[in-house]
Structure 1
Amino acid sequence: MSDWKEHRRQVLANAKRVLIKVGSAVLTSEQGLDLRVVSRLADQMSSLHDRGLDLVLVSSGAVAAGRKVISSLCLGAHLPEKQAAAAIGQSRLMHAYDEAFERFGKVTAQILLTKDDLRSRSRFLNARHTFQTLLTWRAIPIVNENDSVAVQELKFGDNDSLASLLLNMVEADLFINLTSAKGVFDDNPDDNPDAGCLECITDILTLEPAKLCRGKTGAGSGGMYSKLLAAKRAAQLGVPTLIVSGKEKFSLEKVFDGEMLGTWVVPQEKSISRRKFWMAYNQETDGELWVDAGAVKALRQGGKSLLPAGIVNVSGNFGVGALVRIMDFEGRPIGVGLSNYKAAELKRVMGRKSSEIASVLGQCPYSEAVHRDNMLLDIAG
Structure 2
Amino acid sequence: MIGGVATLAAPSATRRAVASAGRVVVKVGSSSLTTAAGGLDPARLAALVDAVAGRRSAGSQVVLVSSGAIAAGLAPLGVRRRPRDLATQQAAASVGQLQLAHAYAASFARHQLTVGQVLLTADDVWRRAHYRNAQRTFSRLLALGAVPVVNENDTVATEEIRFGDNDRLAALVAHLVGADALVLLSDVDALYDGDPRRGGARRISEVNGEADVDGVDAGAAGASGVGTGGMASKLAAARLAASAGIPVLLASAADAARALGPADVGTAFAATGSRLSARKFWLGHAAGASGRLHLDAGAVAAVVGRRRSLLAAGITGVAGDFDAGDVVELLDPAGRVVGRGVVAFDAAELPDLIGRSSHQLPAEQRREVVHADDLVPLMAR
Can you give the 5+ residue segments of structure 1 that lack an aligned partner in the other structure? none
Can you give the 5+ residue segments of structure 2 that lack an aligned partner in the other structure? 1-9
Q: Relative to structure 1, is the Cα distance of residues 13 and 316 closer, same or farther in structure 2, using a 3 angstrom cutoff?
A: closer
* C-alpha distance in 1 between matches for 2:312 and 2:217: 38
* C-alpha distance in 2 between matches for 1:74 and 1:102: 31
Q: Relative to structure 1, is the Cα distance of residues 60 and 125 closer, same or farther in structure 2, using a 3 angstrom cutoff?
A: same
Q: TM (normalized to structure 2)?
A: 0.88
* C-alpha distance in 2 between matches for 1:208 and 1:380: 16
Give the structure 1 partner of residue 339 of structure 2. 335
Q: What's the CA shift string for 1:326-377, capped at 9, x where partnerless?
A: 12223232221112333344322322334x3xx32333542x3323332223
Query: Which structure would you say has the larger RCO, counting Cα contacts within 8 Å and 6 or more residues apart?
Result: 2
Give the structure 2 partner of residue 94 of structure 1. 101
CA contact (8 A) 2:336 2:380 kept: no
Letter in 2 for 1:87: S
Shift of 1:84: 0.3
CA contact (8 A) 1:348 1:360 kept: no
In the alignment, which of 111, 116, 119 is matched to residue 126 of structure 2?
A: 119
CA contact (8 A) 1:112 1:143 kept: yes
Q: Relative to structure 1, is the Cα distance of residues 208 and 78 closer, same or farther in structure 2, using a 3 angstrom cutoff?
A: farther
- 1:1-381 equivalent positions in 2, closer than 5 A: 5-31=11-37, 32-71=39-78, 76-190=83-197, 193-204=199-210, 211-217=216-222, 218-246=225-253, 248=254, 251-258=255-262, 260-354=264-358, 356=359, 359-366=360-367, 368-378=368-378
Shift of 1:118: 2.5
* C-alpha distance in 2 between matches for 1:183 and 1:37: 19
2:361 match: secondary structure: helix
How many residue pairs get aligned? The number is: 369
CA contact (8 A) 2:16 2:262 kept: no
* C-alpha distance in 2 between matches for 1:106 and 1:375: 41
Letter in 2 for 1:223: G
* C-alpha distance in 1 between matches for 2:90 and 2:154: 6
* C-alpha distance in 2 between matches for 1:133 and 1:57: 15
Shift of 1:282: 3.1
Q: TM (normalized to structure 1)?
A: 0.88
Letter in 1 for 2:219: R
* C-alpha distance in 1 between matches for 2:74 and 2:181: 32
Shift of 1:50: 0.7
Q: Relative to structure 1, is the Cα distance of residues 77 and 276 closer, same or farther in structure 2, using a 3 angstrom cutoff?
A: same
Shift of 1:5: 4.6
Q: What's the CA shift string for 1:73-118, capped at 9, x where partnerless?
A: 8984211111001111111111221221112222112121112223
Shift of 1:23: 0.4
Q: Relative to structure 1, is the Cα distance of residues 151 and 9 closer, same or farther in structure 2, using a 3 angstrom cutoff?
A: closer
Superposition RMSD in Å:
2.6
1:106 match: secondary structure: coil
Q: What's the CA shift string for 1:26-82, capped at 9, x where partnerless?
A: 112224321111010111111111111111101001111111222258984211111
2:192 match: secondary structure: coil
CA contact (8 A) 1:119 1:282 kept: yes
* C-alpha distance in 1 between matches for 2:250 and 2:81: 35
CA contact (8 A) 1:205 1:232 kept: no
CA contact (8 A) 1:233 1:380 kept: no
CA contact (8 A) 2:15 2:264 kept: no
Letter in 1 for 2:371: H
CA contact (8 A) 1:287 1:315 kept: yes
Shift of 1:168: 2.5
* C-alpha distance in 2 between matches for 1:13 and 1:206: 22
CA contact (8 A) 2:323 2:346 kept: yes
CA contact (8 A) 1:288 1:325 kept: yes
Shift of 1:306: 2.7
